[in-house]
Amino acid sequence: MGNVIYDVLTGRARLIDFETAHLPNLDVQERHADDLAVFLLDLLGCTTDEEWPELAEAFISEYPTVAVRRILREKLVLPSGVARLWWAIRTEYLPDVVLNERLRSLSEILR
């Protein structure tokens, strides 16, 4: 969760993620969805069952763009291979059963 800057004076949080490299052919909405996915995966991995839904919903509510939400839902499917390893690292090695349940719930929040 080190990819968030919070300005106490304005009450505004900004998402930054300089480690995510985007493919050059992705459009703005796909890049935006990638960045949100990285943040949400971090959130899923570092919060409790009780905490994450409320935090995720508050975060997602600031991104009302339907197209970005649709792309994001498509990205939040547990991958296999090397991508799964990166997801494991990002989600603090949550067991697949827990991660899949959180991803299903997150998909509902995104609707």
Q: For residue range 42-68, what is the model confidence (pLDDT) as tens digits?
A: 999 999 999 999 999 988 888 778 999
pLDDT at 1 (0 to 100): 59
Q: How confident is the model at residue 15 (pLDDT cuts 50, 70, 90)?
A: low
Range of the domain at 44: 4-110
Per the structure, how many domains does the chain have?
Answer: 1
55 or 4: which leads in pLDDT? 55
Distance between CA atoms of residues 30 and 35, nearest Å = 9
Contacts of 7 (CB under 8 A, 6+ apart): 13, 14
Length of the chain: 111
Q: How confident is the model at residue 4 (pLDDT cuts 50, 70, 90)?
A: confident
